[in-house]
Amino acid sequence: MKSLKNLGFIALLSSVALFTSCDDDSKDDTQDPSDNVTYGDFTFEIEHTFDGNAFAYNTEYTNGSGEKLEFNNLRYYISNIKLEKVDGTVWSEEESYHLIDHAVPSSSMFLIEDVPTGEYHKISYMIGVDSARNVAGAQEGALSTSNNMFWSWNTGYIFIKAEGNSLASSDSTFSYHVGGFGGPDAAQVTNSHHMHNHMLNISPNASPQMHIITDVKKLFDGDHHTISIANLSRVRMPGDDAKMVSHNLAEAFILDHIHD
């Protein structure tokens, strides 16, 4: 009788072991798909020009109104960079805030990392800073107030600073400080570029380079607005003038090509 009990106990243990083994196998068959995701990076590069010519400070240019001018400051924010695949999948860069300063060449070329591999046919980004970060309190990096691109917690960040000299104005200067993040005064503009002929191919073994050309002349001569320095030499607060400058600059960005 004792032997029969032992045999029954052994059989029970075997059944439990078999069930546990099958359960473990089923867990292995349902791995998290994210475990198989690989990542890559690409470089976002901006080249400033003026009507097809190289752009430089303290160099004389002429806008569409015939006014001669020289720049001595050009700074603006690029933020909220997003990539989209053909199937509609969207990837967003984390902490996506970049301060472009023409006086600092390295600021016009930055690496965007941890992008899921695949082919992307569209990129979008904001010129300016989103509303949430305008009221988020003291911040660091590109959004640090030490960068002198901030007014106050009521009016928020200065999205664009464009300054220089021109005899067309009463004091021989022009200065556009563009901001405004809420309601009818919101001056952020979102740009997007479609990559139909040459998609952005992200893989762990390559680091492509996206080349954007920005024609600074568009600041004065946009597709919908013309700004004459004689009529508008200063913008220092949110409003219609600030939005006009912001929309003009947004039209200046063209996706020129992608280096694989």
The string of DSSP letters for the chain reads -HHHHHHHHHHHHHHHHHHHHHHHHHHHTT--GGGG--EEEEEEEEEEEETTEE--TT--EE-TTS-EEEEEEEEEEEEEEEEEETTS-EEE-TT-EEEEETTSGGGGEEEEEEEESEEEEEEEEEES--HHHHTS-S--GGG-GGGS-EEETTTEEEEEEEEEE-TTSTTSEEEEEEE--SGGG---EEEEEE-SSS-EEEBTTB--EEEEEEEGGGGTB-SS-B--TTT--EE-SSSHHHHHHHHHHHTTEEEEEEE-
What local confidence, expressed as pLDDT, does residue 83 receive?
98
Q: How far does CA 180 lie from the centroid of its chain?
A: 18
pLDDT in tens, 223-244: 999 999 999 999 999 999 999 9
Residue 23 pLDDT more than 90?
Answer: no
Tell me the longest C-alpha to C-alpha distance in the chain: 114
The mean pLDDT of 47-65, rounded to a whole number, is 98
Task: Please provide the distance, in angstroms rounded to a whole number, between the alpha carbons at the two ends of the chain.
Answer: 78
Q: Residue 135 — φ and ψ, nearest 5°?
A: -120, 20
Domain ranges of the chain: 44-201+209-248
Share of the chain above pLDDT 90, in %: 81
Confidence of residue 32 (pLDDT cuts 50, 70, 90): low
**Backbone torsions φ then ψ of 88, nearest 5 degrees:** 95, -5
The chain-wide mean pLDDT, for the chain, equals 90
In one-letter notation, the amino acid at residue 29 is: D
Residue 25 has pLDDT above 70, yes or no: no
- pLDDT for position 229: 99
Q: Per the structure block, which two tokens stand in for 118?
A: 């695949």
- Which structure tokens are listed for 201? 């191919």
Look at residue 153 in the predicted model and tell me its pLDDT.
77
d(CA 28, CA 17): 17
pLDDT at 10 over 50: no
Q: Give the number of other Cβ atoms within 10 Å of residue 16's Cβ.
A: 10
Q: What are phi and psi of 90, to 5 degrees?
A: -115, 135
